Amino acid sequence: MLITLRQWPRRRRPNTTGSRTVPPPVVSDSQWNLIKDLFANPSPSPEGGRPRADSRACLEGVLWVLRTGAQWKELPERYPSYST
């Protein structure tokens, strides 16, 4: 009998923050002020479209993935969508 990983139910990583409150940002205000100009901040399009996600929140999400080693789709809801 051949057993593959597809037969096992997928387990999600537990929330290891230990708190339901939003943790403090990884990037401090002084650090953000130094790098915020490196991120694009175009004006909204007159044709409309999806609203832009906050650049700082996106950076925090990237740092969370790098720090935890989790997959993008496991990104907590406090960060913008992983497809952003």
Residue 76 lies in a domain: yes
- Average pLDDT on 63-82 reads 90
Helix-strand-coil split of the chain, %, nearest 5: 35, 0, 65
Q: What letter represents residue 73's amino acid?
A: K
- Average pLDDT on 20-35 reads 81
pTM confidence score: 0.64
Residue 2 lies in a domain: no
Residue 69 lies in a domain: yes
5 has pLDDT over 50: no
Residue 33 lies in a domain: yes
16 has pLDDT over 80: no
- Domain coverage including residue 75: 28-37+53-84
Residue 17 DSSP one-character state: S
Residue 68 lies in a domain: yes
Provide the number of structural domains found in the chain.
1
